[in-house]
Structure 1
């Protein structure tokens, strides 16, 4: 691969990625270490060099580590090689703000988290901070929100303990609730927000560090509220998808799911119908219209989150079945969109079957 000529380098890197996927096991095991070093050298070229070479390098690294993860005997060396990669990728994330690079870099980090999770544990906080900063930046397009949120959802796997999973879930739920405070001002009773906070942070319990860490959160807090309603909704709905992933993906240890907090958050969204709150009638008609346009998407994502709770916990939901059934029944009375009504039916069916009814 020619470092001087970016087009030839790009072609060679792409070919290595394809070779990693298609070559025989014998050739791959004999050559992957050499291929890794070649691709890494291109990733670490100065920023002035062709940026699409970096994009191709991340994609080919993902191919290489996806294949390497399929060889149990190579786990130790794979973890060692993957550990060498995290710091350079984080450095590049701070240097290269292009969407194409971020998309491939986050895909690479997700690949490493799934295949060689322990390689990220030492850099856990930095990875969380980098992903969150991009997620909150003014120039982050909605199109890569889901990839960034997926990276956050997988991150606790790099430590593999219950505390990491619970802390990430708590931080995401608090962040979502804070964003809803901005969006729903004037559209709901204040008690709805307070109920979620009370469940997430019982009296006497210290709040966790903010999502992304103190530095990233402080840096992005002001501009977070300046985004138009559509972006705020996309941000909230994407992080709800992050929660869905955490609830349904396999995790190394059993975790305690904050069901009451999750259901309270879902209820908060589903109970907003776009009408003014009697206690907080201060909202412009234009802003009310903008929020109402986005409500169906928020309701859809909230129902998806409720569905993930039901599918992920099934019979363990027994103490919460009455609350969930009451919420679905109440929402169904006011829901007019056919696709959302169908979703309610679907959730109710799974809920009843998980209780042993209708089998």
Structure 2
């Protein structure tokens, strides 16, 4: 009869204990039968998470008999899982450990608080024991991380959690120092990051040992990129275990000094000698001693030889990871306020960005062609990490950045002229956008012209290769119309890149274009930066460039939509660009156009009627992001028009009243 004991539907609480018992019976291994299909566990985990089979959550009206039945089913589940964790067969032990980690996440709060100590002591031996297999250790690290993540959500048991976490630090460091498996290193680092995040004081006594273990792995040259990123993230979190300003400042000082030393080795023969001393002078003022090296390592003669023989590729990888570590330190929360060495960070960023692989004639004796080739191949990635570090400086320092704003503007202006790779140009546009939004009108005054110069280059480079002949003719005509007021004289030459800016009588500076067409992703970044310029500084007195920018944006928006809307597959901008990015370009062009129309506060926007027509046409593309934005744009544009009409009617009415009063007074005087 039990086969016909139906429940109401898939939301019925009565289903949960029955389904859980079925899983225990049919899909979870036990002591008697071999574990034939490990992939079956993923189905078990999915069903438990989807239906909340371990949650024991119910309404007040739930029948007590049903509650007892569900509790009994979860008890059976936990009992089976713990039996597997203690099993001598590695595959069954691994299955039990994985399921116990999932149980820590999914069970009810009451059950977790009553059981976490027992579960922890079941998992701890698998991390401490050197005899367990690698995949059992990896699963144990993951499950312990799950346990401590859940435990960190209960502030009232912080002391007990810290006590348990303290028992793990030495085993975790032992895994990092002794084992040769990168999978185990990854599990140990993940567990250490979890402990530092939720129970930082448990690491306090082992701080120096942890720094040595993490730094040695980070600089060993034996780890893959993903592992290096996790190590850099963990090293950046480590000062939280002490939570004072001195620990944070000392850590970033050590990282920057090591970073500077690596740059000395990598850039030997590519830059003047004085560059390597400036950062050290800023980090270690005269009369002060150098701090101990990162990880407090005293290198033996053999270790020193290995360090000097480290390949340029490994050196560049270390530099990138140290920069990533700085990014995490600058953007992660910290218990106390700290003083960021902004000037030293900017010097290192500038040092990297100003190296383009060219060898000064005076230093050519120190550089072979093979070395130059290898360094030039790694420089784009290094520049990208430097730009990421600059973004982290801007986001992390906030008001501390103000005294250095002029230095950042000079750096961006200089780098824009020599930056030609699409990925790097996108990142620079992103930096200018962040600066404009975060620092406001003052930054707009300084950066607007540079953004506009480069945006004209990236948005106007369209040739016959990208669109049809008729479209190309239209775009060429529009480009001529845009640039006609500038009276620009083109320099003759064969160099690819950005020559010196050329000034015109109207004040608009237009950089000579590069020979290759800018990808759509670069055009999108340029439009977003222009949108930020107009949003922040569009109301300023900017007649020297405003009319040209307004014309550029209306032409760009019109041309982006002229050969097909988002819903039409025939729209083609560049042959190798995906359709999705074309839609993004259309949206970016319309957003920039809307900013252009809304920021004209003193006069009626010159292209308002054309813009309204574009937005009305776009609104008809029902069900697309384009239609949603165009509807928003029409509301934003039509509301001011409506208000202006009300103001005009009000002004006319006041004028009529004033005329009546004047006539009345005139009659009285007669």
Band the TM-score falls in, shorter-chain normalisation: over 0.9
Contact kept in structure 2, 1:315 and 1:355, CA below 8 Å: no
Cα gap change, 1:17 to 1:221, in 2 (>3 Å): farther
TM-fit CA distance, 1:214: 2.6
Q: How does 1:91-102 map to 2 (within 5 A)?
A: 91-102=174-185
- Structure 1 window deviating more from structure 2 (337-346 vs 33-42): it is 337-346
Distance in structure 1 (CA, Å) of the matches to 2:201 and 2:429 = 41
Cα gap change, 1:220 to 1:244, in 2 (>3 Å): farther
2:403 equivalent to 1:319: yes
Cα gap change, 1:352 to 1:219, in 2 (>3 Å): farther
TM-fit CA distance, 1:232: 1.6
Distance in structure 2 (CA, Å) of the matches to 1:218 and 1:8 = 47
Counterpart residue number, 2:119: 35
Residue 293 of structure 1: which of 373, 377, 391 is its match? 377
Counterpart residue number, 1:236: 319
Cα gap change, 1:320 to 1:138, in 2 (>3 Å): closer
Distance in structure 1 (CA, Å) of the matches to 2:299 and 2:155 = 37
Larger helix proportion, structure 1 or 2?
1
TM-fit CA distance, 1:3: 4.9
2:203 equivalent to 1:203: no
Contact kept in structure 2, 1:169 and 1:243, CA below 8 Å: yes
2:108 equivalent to 1:16: no
2:340 equivalent to 1:257: yes
Which structure 1 residue ranges, 5 or more long, are not aligned?
Answer: none
Q: Secondary structure at the match of 2:293?
A: coil
TM-fit CA distance, 1:30: 0.5
2:394 equivalent to 1:310: yes
Residue 144 of structure 1: which of 207, 227, 236 is its match? 227
Contact kept in structure 2, 1:113 and 1:158, CA below 8 Å: yes
Residue 283 of structure 1: which of 362, 367, 377 is its match? 367
Contact kept in structure 1, 2:126 and 2:132, CA below 8 Å: no
TM-fit CA distance, 1:4: 2.5
Counterpart residue number, 2:147: 64
2:213 equivalent to 1:130: yes
Residue 414 of structure 2: which of 326, 330, 336 is its match? 330
Counterpart residue number, 1:352: 436
Distance in structure 1 (CA, Å) of the matches to 2:165 and 2:300 = 28
Cα gap change, 1:217 to 1:80, in 2 (>3 Å): farther
Counterpart residue number, 2:88: 4
Contact kept in structure 1, 2:193 and 2:237, CA below 8 Å: yes
Higher relative contact order, structure no. (Cα contacts within 8 Å, ≥ 6 residues apart): 1
Question: Alignment length, in residue pairs?
Answer: 358
Cα gap change, 1:297 to 1:217, in 2 (>3 Å): farther
Counterpart residue number, 1:173: 256
Structure with higher Rg: it is: 2
Distance in structure 2 (CA, Å) of the matches to 1:206 and 1:215 = 16
Deviation by residue 1:63-116 (Cα, 9 ceiling, x = unmatched): 000000011111111111101111121123222121000001000000000011
TM-fit CA distance, 1:6: 1.6
Question: TM-score, structure 2 length as denominator?
Answer: 0.52
Distance in structure 2 (CA, Å) of the matches to 1:69 and 1:150 = 19
Contact kept in structure 2, 1:314 and 1:351, CA below 8 Å: no
Distance in structure 1 (CA, Å) of the matches to 2:154 and 2:428 = 43
Distance in structure 2 (CA, Å) of the matches to 1:221 and 1:305 = 29
Which structure 2 residue ranges, 5 or more long, are not aligned?
Answer: 1-84, 442-534, 537-670
Counterpart residue number, 1:110: 193
TM-fit CA distance, 1:219: 7.0
Distance in structure 2 (CA, Å) of the matches to 1:215 and 1:107 = 27
